[in-house]
């Protein structure tokens, strides 16, 4: 990754919309070892409102030319992730990009290769993975605390925009990478891969398509080599639901709500054994966005820190692709088989 940075790492934002204003801007300000150096927006006033140590820019290229920016955070609509991630890597910047990193496995592989060629860090901002509760889940699964795993149920659904001005939101625009699967279904798939590993075979998939052509809700079932079933749901209309439940022969584990959006609030996981025993583990309020920023900054400095590797990004992208091919592909292109493959071997952001 080139020379290690010393001291506080300067972040620069491409995009200054809602996620930057509400979550990542405050997270960088709160994070140890990082500062918000610059931001670029078509509306420079929005960039300035983030509270910058340096300059607000009216063009993304100007930000990429700023030598005081070490890490670029890409906060654009889904279709903007690939071009501006590639541009930032070409400019010698490390990149933290909003999910989904790419709209298909080919895009993820292209960006992974570009990061390797540039010798720069590339991380997908799956921020829930940095939450201590999620890290504890990984630890318990690795220890075999639940016994051989039988099933994972994951659902992230919310009542999203459909009417009035919100009907033109990018989530409803297929040309901009809209739809439930890209927006929230990716979290459910990420959880399944985190628990069950890289090799998931698609067994079934259904979707509800809205008038703009995007999926408003998607439901899919995958099977792990062990036989464990992953039941995956994501929706951007209807009721609000967040579920993560892992069932093993020795015990089951369930996250309290909110599952994927636990942010500055207490959270818990509950472990239940077949004989009726119950153990609750509680977690203090935390900002996983800030933990993510701190980890990225630490790795830029050459220090040890947990990162979600690009192999995980590739696995989730391949599973999304399998669902889309099953639902929209040609006969014989049903999207079955391992949810990884060539894209699952493209390396790691770790």
CB 133 within 8 A of CB 255: yes
Q: Would you put residue 257 in left (φ > 0), alpha (ψ -120 to 50) or beta?
A: beta
99 carries an active-site annotation: yes
Residue in 82, 93, 99, 326 annotated catalytic: 99
DSSP 3-state assignment of 312? helix
Strands across the sheet with 94-97, in order? Answer: 56-57, 34-40, 9-14, 71-74, 94-97, 122-124
Three-class HEC string of 88-134: HHHCCCEEEECCCCCCCHHHHHHHHHHHHHHCCCEEECCHHHHCHHH
Burial of 39 per CB tally in 10 Å (0-12, 13-18, 19+): buried
CA dihedral 336, 342, 345, 349 (to 10 degrees): -100
Active site residue ranges: 99
């Amino acid at each position: 990754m080139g020379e290690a940075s010393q001291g506080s790492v300067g972040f620069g934002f491409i995009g200054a919309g809602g996620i930057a204003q509400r979550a990542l801007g405050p997270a960088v300000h709160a994070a140890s070892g990082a500062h918000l150096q610059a931001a670029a927006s078509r509306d420079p006033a929005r960039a300035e409102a983030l509270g910058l140590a340096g300059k607000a820019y009216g063009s993304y290229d100007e930000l990429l030319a700023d030598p005081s920016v070490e890490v670029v955070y890409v906060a654009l609509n889904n279709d903007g992730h690939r071009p501006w991630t590639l541009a930032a890597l070409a400019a010698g910047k490390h990149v933290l990009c909003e999910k989904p990193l790419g709209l298909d496995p080919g895009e993820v592989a292209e960006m992974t290769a570009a990061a390797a060629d540039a010798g720069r860090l590339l991380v997908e901002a799956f921020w829930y993975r940095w939450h201590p509760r999620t890290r504890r889940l990984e630890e318990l699964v690795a220890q075999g605390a639940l016994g051989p795993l039988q099933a994972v149920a994951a659902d992230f659904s919310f009542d999203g925009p459909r009417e009035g001005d919100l009907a033109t939101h990018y989530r409803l625009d297929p040309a901009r990478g809209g739809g439930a699967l890209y927006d929230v279904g990716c979290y459910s798939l990420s959880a399944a891969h985190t628990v069950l590993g890289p090799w998931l075979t698609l067994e079934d998939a259904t979707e509800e398509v809205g008038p703009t052509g995007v999926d408003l809700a998607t439901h899919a079932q995958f099977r792990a080599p062990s036989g464990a079933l992953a039941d995956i749901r994501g929706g951007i209309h209807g009721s609000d639901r967040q579920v993560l439940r892992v069932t093993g022969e020795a015990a089951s584990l369930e996250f309290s709500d909110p599952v994927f959006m636990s942010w500055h609030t207490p959270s818990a996981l509950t472990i239940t054994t077949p004989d009726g025993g119950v153990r609750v583990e509680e977690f203090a309020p935390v900002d996983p966005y800030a933990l993510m920023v701190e980890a990225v900054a630490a790795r830029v400095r050459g220090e040890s820190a947990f990162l979600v590797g690009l192999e995980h990004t590739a696995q989730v992208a391949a599973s999304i692709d399998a669902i889309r091919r099953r639902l929209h592909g040609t006969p014989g292109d049903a999207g079955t088989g391992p949810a990884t493959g060539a894209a699952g071997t493209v390396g790691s952001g770790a």
